[in-house]
Structure 1
């Protein structure tokens, strides 16, 4: 069946920064009905952002809407900053949650809770699909690609909550910021690096995330990686709260707020603002 192109509501949302144009943007098509997989992928390739999303009616009775998430190269089952940005766009477009202060997003990874408090959004970290230490061969590839020594890696872990993330922990934020990775050596990887800031810093950690496997060399701010890393670092014991800085190496100023509650739930929040609103013809 051929779908006649029509105008659909469209927004571009800045996520994880209080400074306009300094977070991670996500393009949101607010009416994805009738758009085929290939066209969704083409739109994501055209916007050339880390992710482009399409809002659809839910298929689960507990969900407020369904979301499909595309990078320029592939569809993801879940991603963090698109979750927050799409929730913001849905609210701005007049969406009304079934439960006051709580949005439920349906995506390929399942149902994801998003809480709305005092104008800010945060999502509940979904379960990790893979955990445990990296195998030695994969770790050695990352070490070579990052141009560091094995002794600089304090710890490492699979932190996969859908996209396929792995992470290495370095000793300091400075070491993370100084990385000059050769992504050609890990072209199929989804990997992050995290390191601690000095005690006097307003941030506990610096994060960088690299996703060459899905066409994103360096993500300016990554909610899914921070969510899974927080589950690893806090061991699900909570309570704990801290902030992560990300994006300065690509000209951004992102801040990710992490809250690990006593019941083990990890919430990932930050600023969201609609900076572009209009229509797209699809």
Structure 2
């Protein structure tokens, strides 16, 4: 079986910056032949943070002409939604393959894609947000780094990890949002410390939400910049550093909107600086009043650019 693939650098307009992504095009005639296990092995072969499988349609009706299904895989499992695969796939589809397509369908739901100046994309993200009742300190019960080697050995970072809110942007994508007071502390975050969230002594997530990817997302609030809230962030949970994590950025933007801003907001996140792959992520939220005096999330938008780096043919045995 021969499959065409493209790699892109996402959340950047410069090649060899941003977050690498592989997108494998799956012809309609091969869709049923490409098993879940094979897709997982292909993702492991690329060995990137995510690989996307873009499904073509055979004889599309009018509705199908405007949408494409995508599957998103890490090297370990399939994800219902992820940010840099969404933006990278959207740029590839909209500007290189099918300009008429306006929707990518993920396991988390349909994502509307809107072209922006400079070959950028603005993607409307389906959301089902949840602030979980427990934090890591409730589950681990101690800040002793020797008992919990996945925690940071730096006391200030460890304290922030234990107290950080645990927030899902959709079912299946959850982040421990670790706010740090300085860029100096952010620079001390290390890939050497990984928590096995699947085997904690007690459940961290609320009942009904526990089948989920979970990771820490570290950030420093830099204040206002051009009418946006400016944030520097890092993601190191996977045993390596992720240059850009759009799903975590949308989770953080949603959390800050609902629990700090109390209104719709624009966020500008810069990630990947420490590893030399600077990425720029835009998040925008709008809110509504559900009628009980609280604030609810209405729309969640993820924005960014991507640029093609490589094209080729992948051959797999079936």
Same fold by TM (over 0.5)? yes
Q: Displacement of 1:155 after TM fit? A: 6.1
Counterparts of 1:1-282 in structure 2, within 5 Å, are 5-6=1-2, 8-31=3-26, 33=31, 34-57=33-56, 61=63, 64-98=67-101, 103-118=102-117, 119-135=119-135, 136-138=137-139, 144=145, 145-147=151-153, 148-149=155-156, 151-152=159-160, 156-160=164-168, 161=170, 162-180=172-190, 182-186=192-196, 188=198, 189-197=214-222, 204-212=230-238, 217-235=240-258, 237-261=262-286, 264-282=298-316
Q: Displacement of 1:105 after TM fit? A: 1.3
Q: Displacement of 1:187 after TM fit? A: 6.3
Q: Displacement of 1:123 after TM fit? A: 1.8
Q: Displacement of 1:198 after TM fit? A: 6.3
Mean CA deviation greater in 164-173 or 269-278: 164-173
What TM-score, normalized to structure 1?
A: 0.82
**Distance in 2 between residues matched to 1:276 and 1:182, nearest whole Å:** 30
CA separation of 1:194 and 1:154: change in aligned 2, threshold 3 A: farther
Instruction: Kindly indicate whether the alpha-carbon contact (under 8 Å) linking 1:9 and 1:278 is maintained by their aligned counterparts in 2.
Output: yes
CA separation of 1:165 and 1:76: change in aligned 2, threshold 3 A: same
CA separation of 1:175 and 1:138: change in aligned 2, threshold 3 A: farther
**Distance in 1 between residues matched to 2:86 and 2:54, nearest whole Å:** 11
SS of the residue corresponding to residue 265 of structure 1 reads strand
Instruction: Kindly indicate whether the alpha-carbon contact (under 8 Å) linking 2:191 and 2:241 is maintained by their aligned counterparts in 1.
Output: no
Q: Deviations over 1:73-127 (max 9, x none)?
A: 11111111001111122234421335xxxx2111111112222122211222331
CA separation of 1:196 and 1:281: change in aligned 2, threshold 3 A: same
Instruction: Kindly indicate whether the alpha-carbon contact (under 8 Å) linking 2:266 and 2:285 is maintained by their aligned counterparts in 1.
Output: yes
Q: Deviations over 1:190-225 (max 9, x none)?
A: 11111122668997111112343xxx5321100000
Instruction: Kindly indicate whether the alpha-carbon contact (under 8 Å) linking 1:153 and 1:171 is maintained by their aligned counterparts in 2.
Output: no
Q: Displacement of 1:22 after TM fit? A: 1.0
SS of the residue corresponding to residue 283 of structure 2 reads strand
**Distance in 2 between residues matched to 1:255 and 1:140, nearest whole Å:** 36
**Distance in 1 between residues matched to 2:80 and 2:74, nearest whole Å:** 11
Instruction: Kindly indicate whether the alpha-carbon contact (under 8 Å) linking 1:12 and 1:275 is maintained by their aligned counterparts in 2.
Output: yes
**Distance in 1 between residues matched to 2:217 and 2:103, nearest whole Å:** 27
Segments of structure 1 that go 5 or more residues without pairing to the other structure are: none
Count of aligned residue pairs for this structure pair: 270
Q: Displacement of 1:261 after TM fit? A: 3.4
Q: Displacement of 1:64 after TM fit? A: 0.3
Instruction: Kindly indicate whether the alpha-carbon contact (under 8 Å) linking 2:17 and 2:276 is maintained by their aligned counterparts in 1.
Output: yes
Give RMSD over aligned pairs: 3.1
Bigger-Rg structure (1/2): 2
